[in-house]
Structure 1
Amino acid sequence: MVPLHTSRHLAPSPAERARAVLARPNPATVTTQGGTLHLVDPACHVHRGGTVSLLLPDRHHLLDEMARGRTAATVEFTDTGAVALRDPTRSLLWISGTLTALDEATARMRALRLIRDDPDERLLDIGHGRTMVVLEPYLVVHSDTEGCHLLGTDEFVRALPDPLGRWEGPWLRHLEEDHPDLLMALAGACPAPVPLSRPRPLGVDRYGMTLRFEAPDGDHDVRLSFSRPVESPEEVAMEVHALAGLTDACGPF
Protein backbone atom coordinates (compact mmCIF):
# COMPACT_ATOMS: atom_id res chain seq x y z
CA MET A 1 0.00 0.00 0.00
CA VAL A 2 1.33 3.42 -0.99
CA PRO A 3 1.26 5.96 1.89
CA LEU A 4 -1.91 7.99 2.23
CA HIS A 5 -1.85 11.51 0.77
CA THR A 6 -4.09 14.10 2.43
CA SER A 7 -5.37 17.59 1.83
CA ARG A 8 -5.34 20.10 4.71
CA HIS A 9 -5.58 18.47 8.13
CA LEU A 10 -9.09 17.31 9.11
CA ALA A 11 -9.09 13.59 9.90
CA PRO A 12 -10.49 11.30 12.59
CA SER A 13 -8.26 10.21 15.46
CA PRO A 14 -7.20 6.54 15.77
CA ALA A 15 -9.85 6.05 18.47
CA GLU A 16 -12.53 7.60 16.25
CA ARG A 17 -11.46 5.36 13.37
CA ALA A 18 -11.73 2.34 15.66
CA ARG A 19 -15.22 3.35 16.77
CA ALA A 20 -16.24 3.80 13.13
CA VAL A 21 -15.29 0.17 12.40
CA LEU A 22 -17.88 -0.98 14.94
CA ALA A 23 -20.58 1.32 13.56
CA ARG A 24 -20.40 -0.30 10.13
CA PRO A 25 -21.76 -3.77 9.24
CA ASN A 26 -18.30 -5.33 9.15
CA PRO A 27 -17.50 -9.04 9.57
CA ALA A 28 -15.89 -10.22 12.79
CA THR A 29 -14.18 -13.32 14.16
CA VAL A 30 -14.58 -14.29 17.82
CA THR A 31 -11.81 -16.52 19.15
CA THR A 32 -11.91 -18.22 22.57
CA GLN A 33 -10.21 -21.23 24.05
CA GLY A 34 -13.19 -23.30 22.92
CA GLY A 35 -13.17 -22.32 19.26
CA THR A 36 -13.78 -19.68 16.63
CA LEU A 37 -16.97 -18.05 15.41
CA HIS A 38 -17.19 -16.03 12.18
CA LEU A 39 -19.87 -13.34 12.19
CA VAL A 40 -21.13 -11.60 9.05
CA ASP A 41 -22.91 -8.82 10.95
CA PRO A 42 -22.36 -8.88 14.73
CA ALA A 43 -24.41 -5.70 15.37
CA CYS A 44 -21.91 -4.02 17.72
CA HIS A 45 -22.63 -1.22 20.18
CA VAL A 46 -20.28 0.56 22.57
CA HIS A 47 -21.86 1.37 25.93
CA ARG A 48 -21.10 4.31 28.19
CA GLY A 49 -19.56 2.06 30.82
CA GLY A 50 -16.95 0.85 28.32
CA THR A 51 -18.41 -2.52 27.38
CA VAL A 52 -19.15 -3.64 23.82
CA SER A 53 -22.26 -5.68 23.04
CA LEU A 54 -22.45 -8.20 20.19
CA LEU A 55 -25.29 -10.30 18.85
CA LEU A 56 -24.40 -13.99 18.43
CA PRO A 57 -26.52 -16.77 16.91
CA ASP A 58 -28.74 -18.54 19.44
CA ARG A 59 -27.56 -21.94 20.69
CA HIS A 60 -24.00 -21.51 19.41
CA HIS A 61 -21.42 -23.58 21.29
CA LEU A 62 -19.63 -20.41 22.44
CA LEU A 63 -22.73 -19.58 24.48
CA ASP A 64 -22.34 -22.91 26.25
CA GLU A 65 -18.77 -21.93 27.04
CA MET A 66 -19.95 -18.60 28.49
CA ALA A 67 -22.57 -20.36 30.58
CA ARG A 68 -19.69 -21.76 32.66
CA GLY A 69 -18.49 -18.24 33.51
CA ARG A 70 -16.68 -15.29 31.97
CA THR A 71 -14.86 -16.31 28.82
CA ALA A 72 -11.58 -14.78 27.63
CA ALA A 73 -11.88 -13.80 23.97
CA THR A 74 -10.36 -11.77 21.17
CA VAL A 75 -12.68 -10.29 18.55
CA GLU A 76 -11.15 -9.25 15.22
CA PHE A 77 -13.18 -6.85 13.09
CA THR A 78 -12.27 -6.51 9.40
CA ASP A 79 -13.19 -3.10 8.03
CA THR A 80 -14.03 -3.73 4.37
CA GLY A 81 -14.67 -1.32 1.52
CA ALA A 82 -18.23 -0.91 0.27
CA VAL A 83 -17.33 -1.31 -3.42
CA ALA A 84 -15.49 -4.16 -5.17
CA LEU A 85 -11.83 -3.29 -4.68
CA ARG A 86 -8.67 -5.23 -5.50
CA ASP A 87 -7.82 -5.17 -1.80
CA PRO A 88 -11.09 -4.64 0.11
CA THR A 89 -9.59 -4.47 3.64
CA ARG A 90 -9.35 -0.89 4.90
CA SER A 91 -8.36 -1.55 8.51
CA LEU A 92 -8.36 -4.13 11.28
CA LEU A 93 -9.58 -3.77 14.86
CA TRP A 94 -8.79 -6.21 17.65
CA ILE A 95 -10.57 -6.11 21.00
CA SER A 96 -9.47 -8.53 23.71
CA GLY A 97 -11.45 -8.99 26.91
CA THR A 98 -13.97 -11.21 28.64
CA LEU A 99 -17.33 -12.28 27.19
CA THR A 100 -20.53 -12.74 29.18
CA ALA A 101 -23.90 -13.83 27.77
CA LEU A 102 -26.96 -11.87 28.93
CA ASP A 103 -30.32 -13.43 29.67
CA GLU A 104 -33.10 -12.32 27.34
CA ALA A 105 -34.75 -9.93 29.81
CA THR A 106 -31.49 -8.12 30.59
CA ALA A 107 -30.58 -8.00 26.91
CA ARG A 108 -33.93 -6.47 25.98
CA MET A 109 -33.57 -3.78 28.65
CA ARG A 110 -30.12 -2.93 27.33
CA ALA A 111 -31.48 -2.87 23.78
CA LEU A 112 -34.25 -0.46 24.78
CA ARG A 113 -31.68 1.96 26.19
CA LEU A 114 -29.68 1.72 22.97
CA ILE A 115 -32.66 2.28 20.70
CA ARG A 116 -33.37 5.66 22.28
CA ASP A 117 -30.24 7.07 20.62
CA ASP A 118 -29.63 4.49 17.89
CA PRO A 119 -32.70 2.98 16.14
CA ASP A 120 -30.89 -0.20 15.09
CA GLU A 121 -33.46 -2.73 13.81
CA ARG A 122 -31.01 -5.61 14.38
CA LEU A 123 -31.67 -5.31 18.11
CA LEU A 124 -35.16 -6.68 17.43
CA ASP A 125 -33.53 -10.06 16.72
CA ILE A 126 -32.85 -10.61 20.44
CA GLY A 127 -34.84 -13.69 21.41
CA HIS A 128 -35.59 -14.37 17.75
CA GLY A 129 -32.40 -15.98 16.53
CA ARG A 130 -29.73 -13.90 18.25
CA THR A 131 -28.38 -13.57 21.79
CA MET A 132 -26.66 -10.49 23.19
CA VAL A 133 -23.24 -10.96 24.76
CA VAL A 134 -21.12 -8.30 26.45
CA LEU A 135 -17.39 -7.89 25.88
CA GLU A 136 -15.44 -6.13 28.64
CA PRO A 137 -12.28 -4.88 26.86
CA TYR A 138 -8.82 -4.75 28.34
CA LEU A 139 -6.92 -4.34 25.06
CA VAL A 140 -7.93 -2.41 21.92
CA VAL A 141 -5.68 -2.23 18.83
CA HIS A 142 -6.50 -0.53 15.53
CA SER A 143 -4.36 -0.87 12.39
CA ASP A 144 -4.70 0.90 9.04
CA THR A 145 -2.55 2.77 6.51
CA GLU A 146 -1.88 5.43 9.17
CA GLY A 147 -0.21 2.88 11.45
CA CYS A 148 -0.94 0.49 14.29
CA HIS A 149 -2.34 2.10 17.44
CA LEU A 150 -2.78 0.67 20.92
CA LEU A 151 -5.79 2.47 22.41
CA GLY A 152 -6.64 2.96 26.05
CA THR A 153 -10.13 1.74 26.87
CA ASP A 154 -11.09 5.19 28.21
CA GLU A 155 -9.85 6.83 25.00
CA PHE A 156 -11.79 4.28 22.95
CA VAL A 157 -15.05 4.86 24.85
CA ARG A 158 -14.77 8.67 24.80
CA ALA A 159 -14.25 8.80 21.02
CA LEU A 160 -17.28 10.02 19.11
CA PRO A 161 -18.89 7.45 16.81
CA ASP A 162 -19.06 8.66 13.23
CA PRO A 163 -22.61 9.81 12.34
CA LEU A 164 -22.21 8.45 8.80
CA GLY A 165 -21.21 4.91 9.79
CA ARG A 166 -24.17 2.81 8.60
CA TRP A 167 -25.04 5.24 5.81
CA GLU A 168 -21.52 5.18 4.36
CA GLY A 169 -21.75 1.88 2.42
CA PRO A 170 -24.91 2.61 0.38
CA TRP A 171 -23.67 6.13 -0.40
CA LEU A 172 -20.27 4.93 -1.65
CA ARG A 173 -21.90 2.29 -3.84
CA HIS A 174 -24.29 4.90 -5.26
CA LEU A 175 -21.36 7.22 -5.99
CA GLU A 176 -19.44 4.40 -7.71
CA GLU A 177 -22.33 3.17 -9.84
CA ASP A 178 -24.15 6.37 -10.75
CA HIS A 179 -21.70 9.30 -10.56
CA PRO A 180 -18.34 8.52 -12.20
CA ASP A 181 -18.25 12.14 -13.42
CA LEU A 182 -18.24 13.41 -9.85
CA LEU A 183 -15.48 10.96 -8.92
CA MET A 184 -13.37 12.25 -11.81
CA ALA A 185 -13.93 15.82 -10.63
CA LEU A 186 -12.82 14.82 -7.13
CA ALA A 187 -9.71 13.19 -8.58
CA GLY A 188 -8.84 16.54 -10.10
CA ALA A 189 -8.96 18.06 -6.61
CA CYS A 190 -6.35 15.67 -5.19
CA PRO A 191 -3.40 17.48 -3.56
CA ALA A 192 -0.75 15.38 -5.34
CA PRO A 193 -0.41 13.72 -8.76
CA VAL A 194 -2.46 10.53 -8.92
CA PRO A 195 -2.18 7.47 -11.20
CA LEU A 196 -4.03 7.43 -14.49
CA SER A 197 -6.64 5.00 -13.22
CA ARG A 198 -10.31 5.17 -12.33
CA PRO A 199 -10.90 6.83 -8.94
CA ARG A 200 -12.76 4.54 -6.53
CA PRO A 201 -14.67 5.74 -3.44
CA LEU A 202 -12.89 4.12 -0.49
CA GLY A 203 -14.47 5.84 2.51
CA VAL A 204 -16.26 8.86 3.92
CA ASP A 205 -16.55 10.18 7.46
CA ARG A 206 -17.46 13.41 9.22
CA TYR A 207 -14.09 14.97 8.34
CA GLY A 208 -13.65 14.03 4.68
CA MET A 209 -13.55 11.29 2.08
CA THR A 210 -10.87 9.00 0.66
CA LEU A 211 -10.37 7.93 -2.95
CA ARG A 212 -8.42 4.88 -4.07
CA PHE A 213 -6.47 4.61 -7.33
CA GLU A 214 -5.59 1.02 -8.27
CA ALA A 215 -2.35 1.23 -10.29
CA PRO A 216 0.14 -1.39 -11.53
CA ASP A 217 2.59 -0.37 -8.78
CA GLY A 218 0.01 -0.72 -6.01
CA ASP A 219 -2.96 1.01 -4.47
CA HIS A 220 -2.78 4.78 -3.92
CA ASP A 221 -5.16 6.28 -1.33
CA VAL A 222 -5.81 10.02 -1.27
CA ARG A 223 -7.82 11.74 1.44
CA LEU A 224 -9.75 14.95 0.75
CA SER A 225 -10.67 16.89 3.89
CA PHE A 226 -13.94 18.78 4.24
CA SER A 227 -13.87 22.43 5.25
CA ARG A 228 -15.61 21.51 8.52
CA PRO A 229 -16.94 18.40 10.28
CA VAL A 230 -20.32 17.26 8.98
CA GLU A 231 -23.23 15.56 10.72
CA SER A 232 -25.67 14.59 7.95
CA PRO A 233 -25.84 13.33 4.34
CA GLU A 234 -26.98 16.77 3.22
CA GLU A 235 -23.84 18.36 4.66
CA VAL A 236 -21.72 15.67 2.99
CA ALA A 237 -23.32 16.58 -0.35
CA MET A 238 -22.40 20.24 0.07
CA GLU A 239 -18.79 19.47 1.02
CA VAL A 240 -18.26 16.89 -1.74
CA HIS A 241 -19.60 19.24 -4.39
CA ALA A 242 -17.40 22.02 -3.06
CA LEU A 243 -14.33 19.75 -3.29
CA ALA A 244 -15.28 18.86 -6.85
CA GLY A 245 -15.66 22.54 -7.78
CA LEU A 246 -19.42 22.30 -8.34
CA THR A 247 -21.84 24.95 -7.17
CA ASP A 248 -24.95 22.80 -6.77
CA ALA A 249 -25.53 20.06 -4.16
CA CYS A 250 -27.81 17.72 -6.08
CA GLY A 251 -25.22 15.23 -7.34
CA PRO A 252 -25.12 11.83 -5.65
CA PHE A 253 -28.19 12.25 -3.40
Structure 2
Amino acid sequence: MVPLYTSRHLAPSPAERARAVLARPNPATVTTQSGTLHLVDPACHVHPGGTVSLLLPDRHHLLDEMDRGRTAATVEFTDTSALALRDPTRSLLWISGTLTALDEATARMRALRLIRDDPDERLLDIGHGRTMVSLDPYLVVHSDTEGCNLLGNDEFLRARPDPLGRWEGPWLRHLEEDHPDLLAALALACPGDVPAVHPRPLGVDRYGMTLRFEGPDGDHDVRLPFGRPVEGPQEVAAEVHALAGLPDACGPY
Protein backbone atom coordinates (compact mmCIF):
# COMPACT_ATOMS: atom_id res chain seq x y z
CA MET A 1 0.00 0.00 0.00
CA VAL A 2 1.20 3.57 -0.70
CA PRO A 3 0.50 6.32 1.86
CA LEU A 4 -0.36 9.44 -0.13
CA TYR A 5 -0.30 11.78 2.82
CA THR A 6 1.03 11.61 6.36
CA SER A 7 -0.36 14.16 8.78
CA ARG A 8 2.02 16.47 10.62
CA HIS A 9 -0.69 16.79 13.25
CA LEU A 10 -0.90 14.59 16.32
CA ALA A 11 -1.06 10.88 15.63
CA PRO A 12 -0.85 7.76 17.80
CA SER A 13 2.69 6.75 18.75
CA PRO A 14 3.97 3.29 17.74
CA ALA A 15 3.36 2.09 21.31
CA GLU A 16 -0.21 3.45 21.25
CA ARG A 17 -0.82 1.74 17.91
CA ALA A 18 0.48 -1.51 19.38
CA ARG A 19 -1.83 -1.24 22.39
CA ALA A 20 -4.75 -0.54 20.05
CA VAL A 21 -4.08 -3.83 18.21
CA LEU A 22 -4.58 -5.71 21.48
CA ALA A 23 -7.78 -3.86 22.32
CA ARG A 24 -9.51 -4.92 19.10
CA PRO A 25 -10.81 -8.44 18.29
CA ASN A 26 -7.88 -9.33 16.05
CA PRO A 27 -6.68 -12.86 15.21
CA ALA A 28 -3.44 -14.12 16.72
CA THR A 29 -1.03 -17.02 16.32
CA VAL A 30 0.80 -18.47 19.33
CA THR A 31 4.04 -20.25 18.47
CA THR A 32 6.01 -22.37 20.94
CA GLN A 33 8.59 -25.13 20.60
CA SER A 34 5.83 -27.75 20.37
CA GLY A 35 3.69 -26.08 17.70
CA THR A 36 1.29 -23.28 16.85
CA LEU A 37 -2.20 -22.27 17.85
CA HIS A 38 -4.38 -19.95 15.75
CA LEU A 39 -6.81 -17.82 17.75
CA VAL A 40 -9.75 -15.99 16.19
CA ASP A 41 -10.39 -13.84 19.26
CA PRO A 42 -7.77 -14.22 22.02
CA ALA A 43 -9.36 -11.61 24.35
CA CYS A 44 -6.16 -9.79 25.33
CA HIS A 45 -5.67 -7.52 28.32
CA VAL A 46 -2.56 -5.63 29.42
CA HIS A 47 -2.11 -5.53 33.19
CA PRO A 48 -0.50 -2.72 35.24
CA GLY A 49 2.59 -4.84 35.87
CA GLY A 50 3.18 -5.32 32.12
CA THR A 51 1.92 -8.88 31.68
CA VAL A 52 -0.59 -9.69 28.95
CA SER A 53 -3.40 -12.15 29.58
CA LEU A 54 -4.81 -14.32 26.80
CA LEU A 55 -7.69 -16.76 26.73
CA LEU A 56 -6.84 -20.12 25.12
CA PRO A 57 -9.15 -23.07 24.42
CA ASP A 58 -9.44 -25.54 27.31
CA ARG A 59 -7.44 -28.76 27.02
CA HIS A 60 -5.27 -27.53 24.14
CA HIS A 61 -1.89 -29.29 23.92
CA LEU A 62 -0.06 -25.99 24.50
CA LEU A 63 -1.54 -25.95 28.00
CA ASP A 64 0.06 -29.33 28.64
CA GLU A 65 3.39 -27.79 27.69
CA MET A 66 2.82 -24.95 30.17
CA ASP A 67 1.99 -27.43 32.93
CA ARG A 68 5.63 -28.52 32.72
CA GLY A 69 6.84 -24.96 33.42
CA ARG A 70 7.11 -21.52 31.88
CA THR A 71 7.00 -21.78 28.10
CA ALA A 72 8.87 -19.52 25.66
CA ALA A 73 6.47 -18.24 22.99
CA THR A 74 5.95 -15.63 20.30
CA VAL A 75 2.43 -14.33 19.73
CA GLU A 76 1.73 -12.62 16.40
CA PHE A 77 -1.33 -10.38 16.29
CA THR A 78 -2.69 -9.41 12.87
CA ASP A 79 -4.46 -6.05 12.90
CA THR A 80 -7.22 -6.76 10.41
CA SER A 81 -9.61 -4.29 8.81
CA ALA A 82 -13.25 -4.54 9.80
CA LEU A 83 -14.14 -4.34 6.08
CA ALA A 84 -13.57 -6.85 3.29
CA LEU A 85 -10.67 -4.99 1.70
CA ARG A 86 -8.37 -6.23 -1.04
CA ASP A 87 -5.56 -6.25 1.53
CA PRO A 88 -7.19 -6.45 4.99
CA THR A 89 -3.96 -6.43 7.06
CA ARG A 90 -3.30 -3.01 8.57
CA SER A 91 -0.39 -3.85 10.87
CA LEU A 92 1.38 -6.67 12.69
CA LEU A 93 2.35 -6.93 16.35
CA TRP A 94 4.78 -9.52 17.72
CA ILE A 95 5.17 -10.15 21.44
CA SER A 96 7.83 -12.62 22.55
CA GLY A 97 7.95 -13.77 26.14
CA THR A 98 7.06 -16.61 28.48
CA LEU A 99 3.62 -18.15 28.87
CA THR A 100 2.22 -19.47 32.13
CA ALA A 101 -1.17 -21.15 32.52
CA LEU A 102 -3.21 -19.82 35.47
CA ASP A 103 -5.34 -22.04 37.65
CA GLU A 104 -9.05 -21.27 37.51
CA ALA A 105 -9.19 -19.50 40.89
CA THR A 106 -6.30 -17.17 40.03
CA ALA A 107 -7.73 -16.52 36.57
CA ARG A 108 -11.14 -15.60 37.98
CA MET A 109 -9.59 -13.19 40.49
CA ARG A 110 -7.63 -11.55 37.69
CA ALA A 111 -10.77 -11.37 35.56
CA LEU A 112 -12.70 -9.68 38.38
CA ARG A 113 -10.04 -6.97 38.60
CA LEU A 114 -10.19 -6.46 34.85
CA ILE A 115 -13.98 -6.25 34.70
CA ARG A 116 -14.01 -3.26 37.07
CA ASP A 117 -12.49 -1.10 34.33
CA ASP A 118 -13.27 -3.14 31.21
CA PRO A 119 -16.62 -5.01 31.11
CA ASP A 120 -15.41 -7.62 28.63
CA GLU A 121 -17.98 -10.43 28.44
CA ARG A 122 -15.38 -12.84 27.04
CA LEU A 123 -13.87 -13.10 30.52
CA LEU A 124 -16.98 -15.01 31.56
CA ASP A 125 -15.73 -17.94 29.42
CA ILE A 126 -13.02 -18.77 31.98
CA GLY A 127 -13.76 -22.31 33.15
CA HIS A 128 -16.39 -22.67 30.42
CA GLY A 129 -14.29 -23.41 27.36
CA ARG A 130 -11.36 -21.05 27.86
CA THR A 131 -8.28 -20.97 30.08
CA MET A 132 -6.42 -17.77 30.95
CA VAL A 133 -2.67 -17.71 30.40
CA SER A 134 -0.20 -15.00 31.34
CA LEU A 135 2.35 -13.72 28.79
CA ASP A 136 5.37 -11.93 30.30
CA PRO A 137 6.92 -9.97 27.40
CA TYR A 138 10.61 -9.42 26.80
CA LEU A 139 10.31 -8.25 23.17
CA VAL A 140 7.55 -6.19 21.51
CA VAL A 141 7.67 -5.21 17.81
CA HIS A 142 5.00 -3.31 15.87
CA SER A 143 5.04 -2.90 12.09
CA ASP A 144 2.76 -0.89 9.79
CA THR A 145 3.03 1.51 6.85
CA GLU A 146 4.73 4.07 9.12
CA GLY A 147 7.61 1.67 9.83
CA CYS A 148 8.78 -1.16 12.06
CA ASN A 149 9.37 -0.27 15.71
CA LEU A 150 11.01 -2.16 18.56
CA LEU A 151 9.17 -1.06 21.70
CA GLY A 152 10.60 -1.00 25.19
CA ASN A 153 8.50 -2.67 27.87
CA ASP A 154 8.07 0.60 29.79
CA GLU A 155 7.09 2.46 26.62
CA PHE A 156 4.57 -0.25 25.73
CA LEU A 157 3.11 -0.29 29.24
CA ARG A 158 2.79 3.50 29.55
CA ALA A 159 1.01 3.87 26.19
CA ARG A 160 -2.64 4.77 26.40
CA PRO A 161 -5.01 2.43 24.51
CA ASP A 162 -7.11 4.34 22.01
CA PRO A 163 -10.58 5.06 23.48
CA LEU A 164 -12.24 4.26 20.14
CA GLY A 165 -10.73 0.80 19.69
CA ARG A 166 -13.60 -1.40 20.84
CA TRP A 167 -16.26 0.20 18.64
CA GLU A 168 -14.01 1.11 15.68
CA GLY A 169 -15.09 -1.94 13.63
CA PRO A 170 -18.87 -1.41 13.89
CA TRP A 171 -18.39 2.32 13.25
CA LEU A 172 -16.37 1.74 10.06
CA ARG A 173 -18.90 -0.80 8.76
CA HIS A 174 -21.78 1.57 9.47
CA LEU A 175 -19.99 4.43 7.73
CA GLU A 176 -19.42 2.37 4.57
CA GLU A 177 -22.84 0.73 4.43
CA ASP A 178 -25.05 3.68 5.37
CA HIS A 179 -23.14 6.87 4.53
CA PRO A 180 -21.60 6.68 1.04
CA ASP A 181 -22.36 10.41 0.61
CA LEU A 182 -20.21 11.24 3.61
CA LEU A 183 -17.35 9.12 2.27
CA ALA A 184 -17.60 10.86 -1.10
CA ALA A 185 -17.37 14.24 0.63
CA LEU A 186 -14.34 13.07 2.62
CA ALA A 187 -12.64 11.99 -0.62
CA LEU A 188 -13.01 15.54 -1.95
CA ALA A 189 -11.28 16.81 1.19
CA CYS A 190 -8.20 14.61 0.64
CA PRO A 191 -5.02 16.55 -0.19
CA GLY A 192 -3.19 15.77 -3.41
CA ASP A 193 -4.31 13.45 -6.18
CA VAL A 194 -6.21 10.33 -5.19
CA PRO A 195 -7.37 7.49 -7.45
CA ALA A 196 -10.79 8.01 -9.02
CA VAL A 197 -12.41 5.24 -6.99
CA HIS A 198 -14.81 5.28 -4.07
CA PRO A 199 -12.89 5.46 -0.76
CA ARG A 200 -13.11 2.77 1.90
CA PRO A 201 -12.90 3.70 5.61
CA LEU A 202 -9.74 1.98 6.84
CA GLY A 203 -9.39 3.18 10.41
CA VAL A 204 -10.21 5.80 13.01
CA ASP A 205 -8.49 6.84 16.23
CA ARG A 206 -8.72 9.80 18.55
CA TYR A 207 -6.46 11.91 16.32
CA GLY A 208 -7.99 11.28 12.89
CA MET A 209 -9.25 8.80 10.34
CA THR A 210 -7.72 7.00 7.38
CA LEU A 211 -9.29 6.29 4.00
CA ARG A 212 -8.15 3.63 1.55
CA PHE A 213 -8.40 4.01 -2.22
CA GLU A 214 -8.14 0.63 -3.94
CA GLY A 215 -6.87 1.89 -7.28
CA PRO A 216 -5.82 -0.07 -10.38
CA ASP A 217 -2.15 0.56 -9.53
CA GLY A 218 -2.43 -0.55 -5.90
CA ASP A 219 -3.79 0.57 -2.56
CA HIS A 220 -3.39 4.19 -1.44
CA ASP A 221 -4.02 5.32 2.14
CA VAL A 222 -4.82 8.91 3.08
CA ARG A 223 -4.91 10.11 6.68
CA LEU A 224 -7.22 13.00 7.57
CA PRO A 225 -6.36 14.62 10.94
CA PHE A 226 -9.08 15.83 13.28
CA GLY A 227 -8.99 19.41 14.48
CA ARG A 228 -8.60 18.13 18.05
CA PRO A 229 -8.27 14.79 19.84
CA VAL A 230 -11.58 13.06 20.52
CA GLU A 231 -12.78 10.74 23.25
CA GLY A 232 -16.08 9.28 22.06
CA PRO A 233 -18.62 8.76 19.26
CA GLN A 234 -20.27 12.19 19.44
CA GLU A 235 -16.93 13.97 19.09
CA VAL A 236 -15.89 11.69 16.22
CA ALA A 237 -19.11 12.51 14.39
CA ALA A 238 -18.50 16.24 14.75
CA GLU A 239 -14.89 16.00 13.52
CA VAL A 240 -15.73 13.74 10.54
CA HIS A 241 -18.49 16.06 9.40
CA ALA A 242 -16.14 19.04 9.77
CA LEU A 243 -13.57 17.27 7.58
CA ALA A 244 -16.24 16.66 4.96
CA GLY A 245 -17.47 20.25 5.12
CA LEU A 246 -20.95 19.14 6.16
CA PRO A 247 -23.25 20.26 8.99
CA ASP A 248 -22.61 18.58 12.34
CA ALA A 249 -24.32 15.24 12.96
CA CYS A 250 -27.05 14.72 15.55
CA GLY A 251 -25.98 11.18 16.48
CA PRO A 252 -22.74 9.21 16.96
CA TYR A 253 -22.31 8.57 13.23
Q: CA offset at residue 167 of structure 1?
A: 0.1
- TM-score with structure 1 length normalisation? 0.98
Q: Partner of 1:246 in structure 2?
A: 246
Q: CA offset at residue 6 of structure 1?
A: 2.9
Partner AA of 1:235 in structure 2: E
Q: Partner of 2:95 in structure 1?
A: 95
Q: Partner of 1:216 in structure 2?
A: 216
Q: Secondary structure at the match of 2:86?
A: coil
The within-5 A match list for 1:71-220 is 71-220=71-220
Structure 2 residues without counterparts, runs of 5 or longer: none
Q: CA offset at residue 4 of structure 1?
A: 4.6
Return the alpha-carbon distance in structure 2 between the equivalents of residues 204 and 245 of structure 1.
Answer: 18
Q: CA offset at residue 3 of structure 1?
A: 2.8
Partner AA of 1:120 in structure 2: D
Partner AA of 2:198 in structure 1: R
Q: Secondary structure at the match of 1:111?
A: helix
Q: CA offset at residue 207 of structure 1?
A: 0.7
Return the alpha-carbon distance in structure 2 between the equivalents of residues 250 and 50 of structure 1.
Answer: 40
Partner AA of 1:160 in structure 2: R
Deviations, residues 47-104 of structure 1 (Å, cap 9, x unaligned): 1100000000000000000000000000000000011100000000000000000001
Partner AA of 1:234 in structure 2: Q
Query: Over aligned residues, Cα RMSD in angstroms?
Result: 1.0
- TM-score with structure 2 length normalisation? 0.98
Q: Partner of 1:23 in structure 2?
A: 23
Q: CA offset at residue 252 of structure 1?
A: 6.5
Structure 1 residues without counterparts, runs of 5 or longer: none
Q: Secondary structure at the match of 2:197?
A: coil
Return the alpha-carbon distance in structure 2 between the equivalents of residues 148 and 214 of structure 1.
Answer: 23
Q: CA offset at residue 192 of structure 1?
A: 1.7
Return the alpha-carbon distance in structure 2 between the equivalents of residues 252 and 231 of structure 1.
Answer: 12
Return the alpha-carbon distance in structure 2 between the equivalents of residues 21 and 110 of structure 1.
Answer: 21
Q: Secondary structure at the match of 2:148?
A: strand
Q: Partner of 1:70 in structure 2?
A: 70
Q: Secondary structure at the match of 1:243?
A: helix
Partner AA of 1:40 in structure 2: V
Partner AA of 1:229 in structure 2: P
Q: Partner of 1:42 in structure 2?
A: 42
Q: CA offset at residue 247 of structure 1?
A: 1.8
Return the alpha-carbon distance in structure 1 between the equivalents of residues 75 and 187 of structure 2.
Answer: 36
Partner AA of 2:124 in structure 1: L
* Identity value in percent: 89
Q: Secondary structure at the match of 1:127?
A: coil
Q: Secondary structure at the match of 2:192?
A: coil
Return the alpha-carbon distance in structure 2 between the equivalents of residues 189 and 147 of structure 1.
Answer: 26
Return the alpha-carbon distance in structure 2 between the equivalents of residues 212 and 182 of structure 1.
Answer: 14
Q: CA offset at residue 232 of structure 1?
A: 0.6
Return the alpha-carbon distance in structure 1 between the equivalents of residues 196 and 215 of structure 2.
Answer: 8
Does the 8 Å contact 1:7/1:190 carry over to 2?
no
